[in-house]
Amino acid sequence: MAEIISIATAVPRYCHRQADIFQFMQKSYQLSDEDTRRLKFLYDHSGINTRYSVVPDYGNLVTEENTRFIPVGEPAVFPSLEKRMEIYHRESVILSADAIRQCIQGRISPGQITHLITVSCTGMSAPGLDLQLLQELSLSPDIFRTSVNFMGCYAAIHALKLAKMICDSTVNANVVIVATELCTLHFQQAFTPDNAASSLLFSDGSAAVFVSNCLVSDNALSIRGFYSHVTSKGEKDMAWELSSHGFLMTLSGYVPQLIQEDINQLVEKAVSANGIQLSEITKWCIHPGGKRILDLIQKQLSLSDKDLYDSREILYQYGNMSSPTVLFVLKKILDQTDTIHDKILGMAFGPGLTMETFIAER
């Protein structure tokens, strides 16, 4: 049986208030008064209070132009993809290792990890994050390694699916998943609806999950199963592509409507595929892709404020970190010790438009 033994999270040292990020965006985009009013309204109603980044630029922390990662003013030469990947290569391993150490502390040593799954869509290289972590944590040189790349916000659920497959087929498996995203490295200079949406929502963070079939924990979550669905009509409404000036996000305002249209059917099929009834679900682990998405899901599924409290709290404190975000929500649920017979329905959304779900139970 595959059980989630523990989850740990890590964020960069720079914490920026949403209000300060707005001031940065206003200057960087050199907005007109009308665009400033529109953007301020969106920031004020984002449901986000603070976000984290590996660079200090987004707050009031940088005073010298020569210390900036993102230049301000005209003509501004924005960082190349190589410069962005240089920072990713350095910072992603620091965050990932921090999350993993916390996750396994007091449970197993790094050398006892049998499988490592790295998850990211905001950077890549070869040798990559998996081999960096092997060296940084002194993992076994014969460890099984695999990576989930460029899947976006639902990728951590896909990694959980792989971890369950490993645990179901391998004796004495200690699987560690680490999902790490540095979304803020990919800020774009042009003021477009897609770039404005990205700069409003996304942030940096890492989450590690320890999944095992041989350890016992009183607070463990058993992974029951998964269900996924691709809505092809949303194929071009959420996308993530490489360019010479960083990765480019497409995030159409139509995405919440697409999710709203399909969410009931998705949930019904998810619980049916796992042999349970919807009434048995006691906790909802919803990826907070944005305030509007959470509002529409709550209304469509007739959920209470309590049902989405954890998702809204993560959005408020961290913003949308892409793949780690749903694991931040799941950690909050796992840390709640007042209920010992929970059935949890988790879901996240990403490019495709792909909707991934999982069922876990305590």
Q: Write out the chain in H/E/C secondary structure.
A: CCEEEEEEEECCCEEEEHHHHHHHHHHHHCCCHHHHHHHHHHHHCCCCCEEEECCCCCCCCCCCHHHCCCCCCCCCCCCCHHHHHHHHHHHHHHHHHHHHHHHHCCCCCHHHCCEEEEEECCCCCCCCHHHHHHHHCCCCCCCEEEEEECCHHHHHHHHHHHHHHHHHHCCCCEEEEEEEEEHHHHCCCCCCHHHHHHHHHECEEEEEEEEECCCCCCCCEEEEEEEEEECHHHCCCEEEEEECCEEEEEECCCHHHHHHHHHHHHHHHHHHHCCCCHHHCCEEEECCCCHHHHHHHHHHHCCCCCCCHHHHHHHHHHCECCCCHHHHHHHHHHCCCCCCCCEEEEEEEECCCEEEEEEEEC
- Confidence label for 286 from pLDDT (cuts 50, 70 and 90): very high
Q: Are 161 and 31 in contact (CB under 8 A)?
A: no
pTM exceeding the 0.75 threshold for the entire prediction: yes
Residue 301 is predicted with a pLDDT of 93
Lowest mean pLDDT among 66-80, 127-141, 210-224, 308-322: 66-80
Rounded to an integer, the average pLDDT of 318-333 is 97
Chain mean pLDDT for the chain? 90
pLDDT at position 339? 59
Per-residue pLDDT tens over the stretch 199-215: 999 999 999 999 999 99
Choose the weakest-confidence range: 59-68, 155-164, 178-187, 245-254.
59-68
Q: What local confidence, expressed as pLDDT, does residue 166 receive?
A: 98
Q: Looking at the domain 221-361, which fold is it?
A: Peroxisomal Thiolase; Chain A, domain 1 (3.40.47)
Confidence at 261, pLDDT banded by 50, 70, 90: confident
pLDDT of residue 106: 95
Work out the average pLDDT over 217-221: 88
